[in-house]
Amino acid sequence: MNLKLPQFKGSQMDNSQKRLIILISLSVVVTIFCLVSSKALLDYASYHRHELAAKREVIKQLEANIATANSLAGQYQSFNSVNPNFIGGKNTTDPNTSPPDGDNARLVLDALPSKYDFPALISSVSKILTNDGVASPGIAGSDLSATTSAASSVSPSPVEIQLAINGLTSYGGAQNLIADLERSIRPFNITTLDFGGTNSTISISAGLSTYFQPAKMLGSGTTKEVK
């Protein structure tokens, strides 16, 4: 008896398995691609949400800055026009003038300069001593221009400058000198004060401190990375 066995059965099973493996592989690839694409799209959408939120914050801040600038401009006009010289000096816009003359804006800038100008400070103090009739005036101090920073910043603070003065005057002259230092448009603090001499001639020596303040820089000074 001859038995006839099916031919290529094993080959047919191998082909079916190959097709199944190929289908499974394609499904896995498609699934992975979909997952990766979904994650990329979600990250992209998240980034744009954060970017839009940051832009809205910037626009809001810019609108507030514009409103503040407009308000400041109005206040400046009022400050400089209602009473052009609030300390009673001559109202002038001459850049070479000195207190008590000048408009209010100039007087305020002279009160707290934005630069460390030691020679100008010595000149101002010398003028006060001369106007009050102080004889043999002396002014001592250290010029720290090389080491003092006047760089602008978002939140500047006053920087102290120390001086020492001396000279000969009368009792009335000493009173006038102290009064002029107290009412000077540029603030002076009298830290030490010594007197000596007779009723007609008084020697006076004093330690002073005054200030300058670096210019204020508009802006936050920082950047923010959107992630």
Q: pLDDT by residue (tens digit) across 176-186?
A: 999 989 888 88
**Of 27-36, 88-97, 117-126, 210-219, which one has max mean pLDDT?**
117-126
pLDDT at residue 8, rounded to an integer: 47
Do the bridges between strand 159-169 and strand 189-197 make them parallel or antiparallel, or are there none, so unpaired? Answer: unpaired
The model's confidence at residue 210, banded by pLDDT at 50, 70 and 90, is: very high
CATH superfamily membership of 113-212: Ribosomal protein S6/Translation elongation factor EF1B (3.30.70.60)
pLDDT at residue 188, rounded to an integer: 92
211 forms beta bridges with: 160
Residue scoring higher pLDDT (117 or 226): 117
